[in-house]
Amino acid sequence: MTTTLANPKVAAALDRMFAESAEQFAAMRDGSTDFSRLASATAQERADAFSDYYLPVTQDAGRLLYSLVRAARPATVVEFGMSLGISAIHLASAVRDNGSGRVVTTELSAAKVAAAKKTFAEVGLDDLIEVLEGDAVATLEKLSGPVDFVLLDGWKELYVPVLKLLEPRLSPGTLVVADNTSMAELAPYLEYVREPANGYVSVNFPARDADSMEISCRV
């Protein structure tokens, strides 16, 4: 039985995107790209500066997201921080193979929104993905109905505010997956989801050599 991830258009798009991402990260590592000036920038300024750059999950993390969505069978998946759409493609592929559901994703960069929408249409997943452009704290506030699966992969200082915004819509058993949780600035987020009084059971997952994801179940 084949999956949407194995669809030639989807597989080719992901191969291209991961390859382009690897080239960008290589340039960053060798010092040819310097973003140190953005240390004190606003979220919008950072989004605009990174408008041509992938900030993706790894291939293993993408497959993990696909598997979790297939298993959880959520009606509504919310992603905070779409970037150029790699993770949204994995999420929507799982929704497609589940036979029902939708993905609502958010992004500050108008350039990334345009590029990702084009890719979603090219791979045939645009009917499953709703893109909310702008500040996620504002756009997600208008979201209606329950939320059954959450991916946090945007600006790190907003993980806790976005999660708290969504919490009234989270049912018991809802999974919340947070990327890049080895980063020092995500210590407050980890403290929040690992405190039992806040209503989660949380576990760490190594997503790449020097980084991890946190998978939290709403109880």
Q: Would you place residue 11 in the very low, low, confident or very high pLDDT band (cuts 50, 70, 90)?
A: very high
Structure tokens at 199: 């209503």
- The pLDDT value recorded for residue 23 is 83
Letter string b/e over residues 116-144, b meaning 16 or more CB atoms within 10 A of that residue's CB? bbebbeebebbebbebbbeebeebbeebe
Structure-token match 């504002």, residue found = 138
The domains of the chain, with CATH numbers, are 4-14+52-218 (3.40.50.150)
Kindly tell me the burial class for residue 37, based on how many C-beta atoms sit within 10 Å of its own C-beta (0-12, 13-18, 19 or more).
Answer: exposed
Q: Would you place residue 208 in the very low, low, confident or very high pLDDT band (cuts 50, 70, 90)?
A: confident
The CA–CA distances, whole Å, from 186 to 35, 158, 181, 190 equal: 20, 10, 6, 6
- The whole-angstrom separation of Cα 123 and Cα 12 is 9
- The pLDDT value recorded for residue 57 is 87
Q: Which amino acid is it at 156? A: K
- The whole-angstrom separation of Cα 33 and Cα 153 is 22
Structure tokens at 194: 């690992």
What is the reported pTM? 0.90
- The whole-angstrom separation of Cα 163 and Cα 107 is 16
pLDDT, average across residues 91-95? 98
List, for residues 60-90, the tens digit of each pLDDT value: 999 999 999 999 999 999 999 999 999 999 9
